[in-house]
Structure 1
Amino acid sequence: MLIAEIYPIQRLPRRFSAFDYLVPEGLKLERGFFVRIPFRNQEIIGVVKELHERFSPRQGLKEVLGVLDIPPLAETELEIFEWLGKDLAQGVSAILNAAIPVIPKRNISLPVIPALPLKIRTSETSAIQRALQTIDLQRRAFISSPDLPQMAALAAAYLHAHPKDRIVILLPGAREAEVLAPYFVSFGLSVISGEKTEGRCFLAWNDFRRGQTRVLLGTRLAALLLPASVDAVFVFRSGHESHKQRDRNPRYDVREIALEFQKRNACRLYFLDTMPRADDLATFEKEQIFIEHPEPRPYFVNTQNERPMSPHPLISWTLDGSIQDCLKNNRRILCFYNRKGKASSLRCAECGYSFPCPVCGGIFTVYETSIRCHHCDRVEPLCLSCPNCHGVKLNERGFGNQTVKQALEKQFPGVTVSLIDRAKQEDDSAQILLVTSYYFESHRQLFARGNFGLVANLDADLPLLDPGFRSFENALRAVEDLRGLARREQAVFIVQTRNPDIFLPYYNNPQACLMNELELRQAYQVPPYVRWLRLKIRDTETLRAELELKAASESLRPLAGITIFPLECQPGRSCQISVSVEPGAIDAVLEKLSSLPDRIVIDTNAIS
């Protein structure tokens, strides 16, 4: 009797794997086939894990109901799901359920996307040609590219140079996928995005797997559906934090999947961004890192030196003169300042109380009539007295973008100044735009030019205040992303910082600078040299959560090569434990984690 082990495409607890089913006489099955199976009084879809003979099958086994007319998963594709289940300490069924789009029950059609021509400047041609030479020489590489339009131009050039190849482009967000889609329609396009209906995602995925299109353009979901027939995978904006799914299971990283897929499938793989992550230097060989520094080179302004002659701490003497010159030439100014509100924090002058958020422990940002925690979005009325000592002398510390806007209006009377952040989007045709990162992620038209003659980072040091180990890398990336905009606009680029010497080593020798960063990470035992895991329970009963996590940590303690950190609790909300794991111990740790109850949320790449 032939028995099929089948993964139900169902959200199941991590301890469940494949289920046994009888194969009816005459039904031909192979590993990777999509089949219909009875499961818990309903009919669902499953994927065949393997087949084997059994002379005396267990009583009560149900039969496979039939095979779906869908191309089966290739060996590489199913191996990736199985590897991902192990790597994330999740069941393979749960991974398949998150990845495989629901098959539409009725006939639907994909929307027609109007094609647009992809135009580039003549000055960009040489950079694209050099990048193509790197692609021809290396089957995998990191390639620096100043902005998304040039990344798209490089992918299109690759398609022209390799007319038989089929590619996947992975993007950090649905907005980028929507903007880029028209430029790849002429090649034959499938689009997979979390914002599209599952039925349309299935049709797009099925079209690509059947060879009806050449380009699969998608967000994180597309990384779970990489087809074995693909010739090259491009990860655009590869350093973007949205390539990691952090808020729900499965908590996977697009970059890790792409690297594992390339290793198993032997396709080409290219990471594209304005600069590499330090991790990329540990991932790629030296000759596989392609970094260019085209104009404009950042002009770093030491705000400490210029403070005595500057009209405002965030408007240096140099910036003030550059803005005036730009306005005389009838060009606009974009000022980037990624701190919202009226002031960055509130502090009691009498006892030093800093008004921490009662929910997450973060710092409240001051607005006109309220204070807001931008970590957990808690909002409270603006305090009139200190809850600790009842003093009424409360000092607003630092500058929020609302205060900076007032300073710009005062310094340049008669000039229109607009503020654009998540909470407020004023007129984006003003002469001076003051923006946060929201402008680049959700507001700006990616292929449009805004007649900017000056782009300025008002405080490049802000990311350095983040306690995370990527703070220096993120500060550099913010500068490089803005430089890409300045290059597209052919604008002057000014970077204000209290210490230019922090940034200059990267522009003198980028690989040496990032290698130094890697050495520091190795010394402090952070990724990529160790892996950090997090075990978390959300529960209003704090004591119960504490006991469960302590039991889980005790089960890990006998293992070598791990460090378990103290329990952290937010009373009435959640408790968590962090664990650092050396590379040689990860398999043993993952095996232990796979047996833990689903009530414990596991992130096997908590810091990435």
Structure 2
Amino acid sequence: MREASASSRPPDSGDPQGDLLGMGARVAVLLPLPLPLREAYDYGVPAGMALNPGDFVEVPLGPRRVIGVVWGPGAGVVEARRLKPVIRRFDAPPMTAVARRFVEWVAAYTMTLPGFVLRMAMSVPAALEPPRETLAYLLRPDALAPPGFKMTDARRRVLALLEDGPPRTPGELAEEAGCGVTVVRGLAEAGLLEPLLLPPLPPGGRPDWTRPGPTLSDHQAAAADDLRQRVRAGGYTTVLLDGVTGSGKTEVYYEAIAAALEQGKQALILLPEIALSAQWLDRFARRFGAAPAEWHSELTGSQRRDTWRAVAKGEVPVVVGARSALFLPYPDLGVIIVDEEHDSAYKQEEGAIYHARDMAVARAHLGGLPIVLVSATPSLETKVNADSGRYTRIALPSRHGGAQLPEVALVDLRRDRPPARHWLAPSLRQALADTLAAGEQAMLFLNRRGYAPLTLCRACGHRMQCPNCTAWLVEHRLARKLQCHHCGLQQPLPPACPECGEEGTMAACGPGVERIAEEVAELFPDARAAIMASDTLFGPRAIQEMVRKISDHELDLIIGTQVMAKGHHFPMLTLVGVVDADLGLNGGDLRAAERTYQLLHQVAGRAGRGERPGTVMLQTFMPEHPVMQALAAGDRDGFYQLEAEMRQDAGMPPFGRLAALIVSGEDPTLVDRVALALGRAAPRDDTVHVLGPAPAPLALLRGRHRRRLLLKAPRATQVQALIAAWLERVEIPPAIRVQIDVDPYSFL
């Protein structure tokens, strides 16, 4: 994200809130729907109701009832007699002024309808209803068992639990007493227990900021003190916590969280992937004595409801979550942490297209609070902002506890060739054997799920392709299926070629992690090996169990994708082998070299984090590539300097602006017609250039044909205004969708 200029910087957060008029007044209500109007709709305020900006209300919309937010006074366009009245106001904390301005700012920056952004900010409408109370029991004083009531050992245990304790739910009593819930109910029916209804407890615990943390090194202590002072002082500031892998960045920013808790404020920590949360949650609980509230796609509906409402009421001090956690209703946020800030998973590619890191910076500015961006390999955008002084940089230049960075060796696959139909070079095989013989752990990394990325017929050459996407079907041999990783289509492996009908001719081409695991089992049959990938680990519990097995040395060798590449700390892991280090360099992606460097640097950082030194072996066909040379030499800043010079010469981000228009529809002829019309109407002058239209690399995605236009402009250009004027010049049919991606990260 470029540093905001005077016209694009978020406005101040001040917004005096007074009661709007009662009966006869009109209010503007923004609805969480992609409605054609960009503004809120006017409604009348009925007798006996007073509304404030931010109140959640139910209003009529045609035949439906819709929940929305009072955005302010009505515009007065609609005649008073035609206004429909607000149906009811919800008894829930209102949306704060900062949150409403954040919705407006995100909508304006990403060129998304405000209602669409509001839907992210009120993603759990059920949380607006009164919370469900929980049945619990107390011991009824001086109660006597009715005649004939038999006092069993199980019943005595339940009564003993309640003698001096607080009220407990039937489930808790049954679990602690080692009996069934029917035993508890029997005691209640006999009049020995007194029922009562309790409000639900806030999710997570109550972190204790006074608990002492671990002993910090001098560098860590200085960094932690800097962050603590910024949080206590308040006010907007962006800090890059730039530390090598294993330098203890997490423990340092925990001190910023402690400073926010000390002031009674909330803290938000964004993680790019749920896979990172297992060890993070354990470390947090050890530091603060309680778990934070979580926010991610794996939560149940009731968990989301309880968490959303508790956050809004200020009952949740700390939230850790994925990018959508940024839109939760924080009433008093004190600090935002964006861990692994460089990670591309922060970019939302569908619906409202936004980058959570960039929007987090805007949210911090609106709320007047510090934000900490954390990475061992910062994005080039963040590094340029830090180098120019727009962001403050705090460095952690060495690993904690005296651990050394691993040695990185390049394996030239042109000379050190694997055997036929195998993928591990002889030198890597020997290193694996030596590591396992020493009782240490090894990791093989390949950022490709499944068994093979392509299946073809050896007889006629037919390739198994997704009918809905421009993509090959990936073989998942363990699940005995072919799958598209873009639309999710699945089908069984065919016994014969669907094109020529020949049987036994379908062959797997190229390796995925399952195929590497097959080779490992052949080479090291006694090694305890496991695959760690998003399609073999379902949910945080499975990931947590896998992390535990690795930490407890129940596994010798891990084969996995990027879910294991960052954030994990395994002291006995001393060897990391990258099967195909060139994989991310293919294609014409602007950030291909940067992303490949970041990913491989993070993978390499898993090795040698304990007392034993680590080694990293990168298999490559291009050892002379600048990415490979920088990794081997440990020259991170040299790579960034070269990458920055190339981007600056080309006028590419962060030194220029990009915005993409993606035209899609089910009719390819109509898609082409609209894309060509947009191409003819495109803004052009000496500084602004539009490339395309051209088929997107994924020209067919989920059954929709796609064409791209790419606007390239100088850094100071307000691309939103240019695009708005551009779209007004072209009529877009209802069957065609035009998505706008300001600051695109993916070019698929």
TM-score (norm 1): 0.81
- Distance (whole Å) between structure 1 residues aligned to residue 702 and residue 426 of structure 2: 50
The one of 273, 289, 293 aligned to 2:393: 289
The worse-fitting range, judged by mean Cα deviation, of 344-353 and 475-484 is 344-353
Cα distance change on mapping 1:416 and 1:403 into 2, 3 Å:
same
- Look up the equivalent residue of 2:690 and give its one-letter code: T
- Equivalences for residues 323-342 of structure 1 within 5 A: 323-340=432-449
8 A contact 2:243–2:398 mirrored in 1: no
The worse-fitting range, judged by mean Cα deviation, of 458-467 and 309-318 is 309-318
Residue 302 (1) aligns with residue 410 (2): yes
- Distance (whole Å) between structure 2 residues aligned to residue 408 and residue 264 of structure 1: 52
The one of 379, 383, 387 aligned to 1:277: 379
The offset of 1:380, in angstroms, is 7.4
Specify the alignment match of 2:358 in structure 1. Answer: 256
- Distance (whole Å) between structure 2 residues aligned to residue 53 and residue 482 of structure 1: 55
- Look up the equivalent residue of 1:319 and give its one-letter code: L
Specify the alignment match of 2:177 in structure 1. Answer: none
Specify the alignment match of 1:227 in structure 2. Answer: 330
Cα distance change on mapping 1:332 and 1:6 into 2, 3 Å:
same
8 A contact 2:682–2:690 mirrored in 1: no
The offset of 1:232, in angstroms, is 1.2
Q: Deviations over 1:237-287 (max 9, x none)?
A: 22222212224x222221121121223332101111331111212343456
The offset of 1:432, in angstroms, is 2.7
* Residue aligned with 1:59, SS: helix
The offset of 1:401, in angstroms, is 3.9
- Distance (whole Å) between structure 1 residues aligned to residue 291 and residue 461 of structure 2: 62
- Distance (whole Å) between structure 1 residues aligned to residue 238 and residue 113 of structure 2: 30
8 A contact 1:347–1:396 mirrored in 2: yes
8 A contact 1:14–1:598 mirrored in 2: no
- Distance (whole Å) between structure 1 residues aligned to residue 492 and residue 108 of structure 2: 43
8 A contact 1:418–1:433 mirrored in 2: yes
- Look up the equivalent residue of 2:617 and give its one-letter code: V
Q: Deviations over 1:524-550 (max 9, x none)?
A: 4544422232333332x3323333444
Specify the alignment match of 1:538 in structure 2. Answer: 665
TM-score (norm 2): 0.68
Specify the alignment match of 2:594 in structure 1. Answer: 473
Specify the alignment match of 2:101 in structure 1. Answer: 79
Consecutive unaligned residues of structure 2, counting only runs of 5 or more, are 1-20, 133-199, 231-236, 538-545
Specify the alignment match of 2:647 in structure 1. Answer: 521
- Look up the equivalent residue of 2:584 and give its one-letter code: P
* Residue aligned with 2:412, SS: helix
Q: Deviations over 1:117-162 (max 9, x none)?
A: 999875x644532432553687312223567994543332223345
Specify the alignment match of 2:709 in structure 1. Answer: 579
Residue 494 (1) aligns with residue 616 (2): yes
* Count of residue pairs brought into register by the alignment: 601
The offset of 1:448, in angstroms, is 7.1
Cα distance change on mapping 1:226 and 1:274 into 2, 3 Å:
farther
Structure whose alpha-carbon radius of gyration is higher: 2
Q: Deviations over 1:310-363 (max 9, x none)?
A: 778854455344333322322222222234555555689999987766653335
- Distance (whole Å) between structure 2 residues aligned to residue 461 and residue 119 of structure 1: 44
The one of 682, 688, 700 aligned to 1:561: 688
* Residue aligned with 1:11, SS: coil
Specify the alignment match of 1:589 in structure 2. Answer: 723
- Distance (whole Å) between structure 2 residues aligned to residue 416 and residue 219 of structure 1: 32
- Distance (whole Å) between structure 2 residues aligned to residue 381 and residue 4 of structure 1: 62
The worse-fitting range, judged by mean Cα deviation, of 452-461 and 182-191 is 182-191
- Distance (whole Å) between structure 1 residues aligned to residue 44 and residue 525 of structure 2: 81
8 A contact 1:167–1:231 mirrored in 2: yes
The offset of 1:168, in angstroms, is 1.3
Cα distance change on mapping 1:417 and 1:565 into 2, 3 Å:
same
Cα distance change on mapping 1:366 and 1:466 into 2, 3 Å:
farther
The offset of 1:217, in angstroms, is 2.5
- Look up the equivalent residue of 1:270 and give its one-letter code: V
Cα distance change on mapping 1:99 and 1:424 into 2, 3 Å:
closer
8 A contact 2:446–2:560 mirrored in 1: yes
The offset of 1:515, in angstroms, is 3.5
